[in-house]
């Protein structure tokens, strides 16, 4: 079988998606009938790195996953959000003191604090989202969002009327740039396939430099950044900036002819109704299956440490519905996106990014 290698950073990428095949997929949750009784005495806790719980992004996705575990297994839950790096250790100590059976930390910045807490408390089960931490009581939850963002980039190029699409991030860090690399690679695939010349503004995959707000809550900064991309001709924008990304939606609404691709959780369900017509799709990190699986296996006594890597193949990442844009997207383009998805799953296309998770520290 011939294989096409799609770089997310031309000449600089070294991490192949195929490396993920050695990593375990999100664990399947045991049946609720097996765990409901034990779950009533189980406390599942969450420590987020910044922002707030209802961030329309990964904090909210993790929180809603714990709510799903509460409904599925009858567990109790606690949550807290760190206001600064100084809070990481303190918040973890607080959760240990609360008697948590399971603690999930949200954000790669919490890696060191999570590792130290897990080592000091071997009887507690831990997860960390967006980073890998090794340990006999740790199940890391990471996502190869470059795969799904590749599809979004191809789609964006296909629906753009100006021939310019854009992306920006909340910070130049791996969980952010992995989206941006995949998006740019998808645009490049479209150009190669169609003989087109759609440009990406806001991110250069070769230099790994681009537009960043350096903040995940400041919607004004995101709006200004998005306006800059729009002034360069971008009519489809993918903000990778958690709740700050709402500023990009505001800029798109004001511009009147700009679409938004959201990330993490389906923006159509999270953002205000006025933004729904703008939302082309969302590049989703699907947290719930992995978190439910870890908690369910812990309750049933079948927990296994390791790295749970969400991919297109195991449905841990993907595109949301097209919602209001469904009728605007040509059937042929939809079929092309589905065909690309199949090729990524089969390994015929390998989406690469230096920020893709490998399952190893």
One DSSP character per residue, 328-361 reads GS-HHHHHHHHHHHHHHHHTSEEE--TTS--S--
Structure confidence at residue 12 (pLDDT): 36
Every domain range in the chain assigned CATH 3.40.50.2300: 4-14+145-284+317-351, 19-143+287-310
Indicate the pLDDT class of residue 360, thresholds 50, 70 and 90.
very low
Give 261-303 pLDDT, tens digit per residue.
999 999 999 999 999 999 999 999 998 999 999 999 999 999 9
Structure confidence at residue 35 (pLDDT): 52
Indicate the pLDDT class of residue 344, thresholds 50, 70 and 90.
very high
Helix (H, G, I), strand (E, B) or coil at 69: helix
Rounded average pLDDT over 62-81: 93
Structure confidence at residue 103 (pLDDT): 98
Would you say the C-alpha torsion 324, 166, 148, 127 has a positive or negative sign?
A: negative
Q: What are residue 5's DSSP bridge partners?
A: 350
Structure confidence at residue 15 (pLDDT): 31
Give 128-176 pLDDT, tens digit per residue.
998 999 999 999 999 999 999 999 999 999 999 999 999 999 999 999 9
- The CATH class of 4-14+145-284+317-351 is alpha beta
Report the share of the chain in percent with pLDDT over 90. 78
CATH of 19-143+287-310, one of 3.40.50.2300, 3.40.50.920, 1.20.120.1200, 1.20.1250.20: 3.40.50.2300
Which residues neighbour 247 within 8 Å (Cβ) at sequence distance 6 or greater? 218, 219, 220, 221, 222, 223, 224, 225, 226, 239, 241
Q: Which two tokens stand for residue 265?
A: 């959780």
Burial class (CB in 10 A: 0-12, 13-18, 19+), 209: exposed
Rounded average pLDDT over 173-180: 96
Alpha carbons within 13 angstroms on the beta-carbon side of residue 294 total 32
283's enclosing H/E stretch is strand 279-285
3-state secondary structure 102-155: EEEEECHHHHHHHHHHHHHCCCCEEEEECCCCCCCCEEEEEECHHHHHHHHHHH
Helix (H, G, I), strand (E, B) or coil at 300: helix
Q: Quick one: CA torsion of 107, 109, 113, 117, rounded to 10 degrees?
A: 20
Phi, psi of 35 (to 5 degrees): -125, -10
Structure confidence at residue 243 (pLDDT): 87
Question: How does DSSP assign 15-66, residue by residue?
Answer: --GGGGGGSBPPPPPPPHHHHHHHHTT-EEEEEESSS-S--SSHHHHHHHHH
Rounded average pLDDT over 59-79: 92
User: How far apart are the C-alpha atoms of 353 and 17, rounded to whole Å?
Assistant: 8
The mean pLDDT of the chain is 89
Would you say the C-alpha torsion 10, 15, 21, 26 has a positive or negative sign?
A: negative
Check pLDDT > 90 for residue 4. no
Indicate the pLDDT class of residue 249, thresholds 50, 70 and 90.
very high
User: How far apart are the C-alpha atoms of 227 and 315, rounded to whole Å?
Assistant: 33
Taking phi over 0 as left and psi of -120 to 50 as alpha, with beta for the rest, 195 belongs to: left
Structure confidence at residue 83 (pLDDT): 80
Residue 270 CB coordination number (10 Å): 20
Structure confidence at residue 27 (pLDDT): 57
């Amino acid at each position: 079988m011939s294989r096409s290698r799609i770089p997310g950073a031309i000449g600089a990428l070294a991490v192949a998606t195929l490396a993920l095949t050695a990593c375990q997929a999100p664990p399947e949750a045991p049946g609720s009938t097996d765990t409901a009784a034990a779950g009533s005495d189980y406390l599942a806790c969450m420590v987020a790195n910044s922002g707030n719980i209802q961030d329309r992004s990964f904090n909210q996705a993790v929180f809603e996953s714990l709510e799903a575990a509460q409904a599925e297994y009858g567990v109790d839950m606690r949550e807290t959000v760190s206001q600064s790096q100084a809070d990481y250790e303190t918040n973890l100590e607080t959760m240990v003191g609360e008697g948590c059976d399971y603690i999930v930390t949200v954000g790669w910045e919490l890696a060191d604090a999570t590792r130290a807490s897990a080592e000091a408390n071997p009887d507690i089960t831990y997860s960390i989202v967006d980073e890998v931490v090794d340990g006999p009581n740790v199940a890391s939850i990471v996502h190869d969002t470059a795969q799904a963002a590749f599809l979004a980039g191809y789609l964006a190029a296909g629906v753009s009327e100006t021939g310019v699409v854009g992306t920006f991030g909340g910070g130049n860090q791996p969980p952010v740039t992995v989206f941006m690399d995949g998006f740019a690679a998808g645009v490049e695939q479209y150009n190669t396939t169609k003989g087109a010349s759609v440009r990406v503004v806001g991110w250069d995959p070769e230099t790994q430099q681009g537009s960043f707000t350096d903040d995940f809550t400041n919607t004004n900064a995101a709006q200004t950044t998005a306006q800059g991309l729009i002034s360069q001709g971008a009519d489809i924008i993918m903000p990778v900036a958690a709740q700050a990304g709402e500023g990009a939606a505001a800029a798109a609404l004001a511009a009147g002819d700009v679409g938004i691709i959201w990330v993490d959780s389906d923006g159509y369900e999270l953002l205000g109704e006025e933004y729904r017509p703008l939302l082309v799709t969302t590049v989703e990190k699907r947290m719930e299956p992995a978190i439910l699986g870890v908690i369910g296996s812990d309750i049933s006594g079948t927990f296994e440490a390791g790295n749970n890597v969400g991919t297109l193949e195991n449905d841990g990442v993907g595109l949301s519905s097209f919602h209001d844009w469904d009728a605007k997207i040509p059937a042929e383009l939809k079929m092309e996106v589905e065909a690309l998805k199949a090729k990524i799953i089969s390994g015929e296309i390998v989406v690469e990014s230096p920020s893709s998770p490998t399952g190893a520290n």
